């Protein structure tokens, strides 16, 4: 059986070891012994016949028999000493003792020493320069004045200035061209990116945008037509109000809404001519005692003809549609004043008609009341 090196431990007079410590160094064990004896840790049990036992964790009172004489004191009062403890190789000290104090004598310490070589630099001797005597004269070219120097000549100064200007101009021109080219490249790249982005957006929107555009266009056209219709209605109502101021309480009053739907100039002729020819329906041709609704002296040939060879209309609507249509065609042919419309009375023989001037004057009086209001509006 292989024997390990010797250890040291603390034992009392009964050869009971203190299992708290195990030492490899005897001197270390002696120092620990003095520390234990001077400490108040643990308790010592005093029994008769001068027997003493030291308990590191204190005396367990339950093991003392009742009536037995015993005394307990704090600290170590027993004869504790250092003894060798020999252990075999198959027993680890850590399994028996709580701590094993290693000896420094068995710890090998190695140290490496690095020798730093310091290079010694030998002083360098500089060659001594020959001293120039004070009386020694300096060469003549070193004492020339600035006024005699070639650097102060005008040609050289001008040349240097020109070279500096050329260099500065060249640098500025090169930088400007480079900046311009870079700006053009960036602008072109940005424009291409914007164009591609627009094309992508157009492709993505595609048919949806077209459908929305068609719907918007249809809605817009509908809105325009509706607005125009409303505007025409307002105009007709306004014109009807002006007409009613003239023909109210006359047989022609019932035709006011129909006349208001005509062009303003045509409506003005319908009122002016009716006032002159029939006094707004008060003097009219009749057929079988019935009103022919012919208030303008119209003589178109029909199956139904009234008194005086005048046309007999079937209804106010028929009258306005026929007479208004005839006047509309004349106005479109630039017959748009009472002086020109006098042919309604006398045809092509107005020059020999003595009543032509009076007809123009009377028709123009009421024609202007309607036509001028439209021009003023």
* pLDDT tens column, 311-351: 999 999 999 999 999 999 999 999 999 999 999 988 888 88
Greatest mean pLDDT range, 49-53, 150-154, 187-191, 248-252: 248-252
Q: For the chain, what's the residue count?
A: 377
Helix axes 316-332, 264-278, angle to 10 degrees: 120
Structure confidence at residue 10 (pLDDT):
86
For residue 356, what are the contacts with CB-CB under 8 A and spacing of at least 6? 342, 345, 346, 350
Structure confidence at residue 219 (pLDDT):
76
Q: Between 220 and 49, where is the model more confident?
A: 49
* pLDDT tens column, 7-59: 889 888 888 888 888 888 888 889 988 888 888 888 888 888 888 888 888 88
Q: Between 119 and 348, where is the model more confident?
A: 348
Rounded CA-CA distance 242/244 in Å is 6
Rounded CA-CA distance 353/344 in Å is 12
Greatest mean pLDDT range, 6-20, 100-114, 192-206, 295-309: 295-309
pTM (two decimals): 0.42
Pull the structure tokens for residue 327. Answer: 């006047």
Average pLDDT over residues 240-260: 94
Cβ atoms < 10 Å from Cβ of 294: 28
């Amino acid at each position: 059986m292989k024997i390990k090196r010797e250890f040291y431990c603390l034992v009392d007079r009964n050869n009971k070891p203190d299992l708290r410590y195990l030492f490899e160094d005897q001197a270390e064990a002696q120092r620990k012994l003095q520390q234990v004896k001077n400490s108040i840790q643990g308790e010592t049990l005093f029994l008769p016949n001068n027997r003493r036992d030291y308990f590191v964790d204190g005396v367990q009172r339950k093991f003392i028999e009742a009536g037995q004489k015993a005394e307990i004191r704090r600290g170590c009062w027993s004869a504790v000493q250092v003894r060798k403890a020999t252990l075999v190789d198959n027993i680890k000290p850590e399994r028996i003792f709580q701590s094993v104090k290693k000896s420094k004598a068995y710890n090998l310490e190695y140290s490496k020493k690095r020798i730093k070589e310091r290079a010694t630099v030998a002083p360098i001797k500089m060659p001594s320069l020959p001293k120039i005597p004070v009386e020694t004269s300096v060469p003549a070219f070193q004492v020339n004045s600035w006024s005699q120097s070639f650097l102060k000549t005008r040609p050289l100064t001008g040349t240097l200035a020109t070279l500096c200007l050329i260099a500065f101009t060249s640098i500025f021109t090169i930088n400007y061209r480079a900046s311009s080219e870079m700006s053009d490249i960036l602008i072109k790249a940005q424009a291409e990116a914007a164009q591609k982005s627009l094309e992508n957006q157009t492709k993505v929107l595609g048919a949806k945008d077209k459908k929305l555009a068609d719907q918007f266009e249809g809605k817009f056209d509908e809105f325009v037509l509706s607005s125009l219709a409303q505007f025409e209605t307002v105009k007709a109502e306004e014109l009807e109000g002006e007409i009613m101021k003239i023909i109210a309480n006359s047989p022609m009053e019932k035709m006011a809404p129909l006349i208001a739907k005509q062009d303003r100039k045509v409506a003005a002729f319908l009122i002016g001519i009716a006032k002159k020819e029939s006094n707004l329906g008060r003097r009219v041709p009749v057929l079988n005692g019935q009103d022919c609704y012919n208030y303008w002296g119209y003589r178109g040939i029909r199956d139904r003809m009234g008194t005086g060879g005048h046309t007999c209309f079937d209804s106010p609507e028929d009258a306005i549609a026929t007479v208004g249509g005839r006047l509309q065609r004349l106005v479109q042919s630039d017959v748009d004043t009472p002086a020109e419309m006098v042919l309604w009375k006398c045809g092509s023989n107005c020059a020999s008609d003595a009543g032509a001037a009076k007809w123009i004057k009377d028709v123009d009086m009421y024609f202007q009341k309607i036509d001028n209001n439209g021009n003023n509006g």
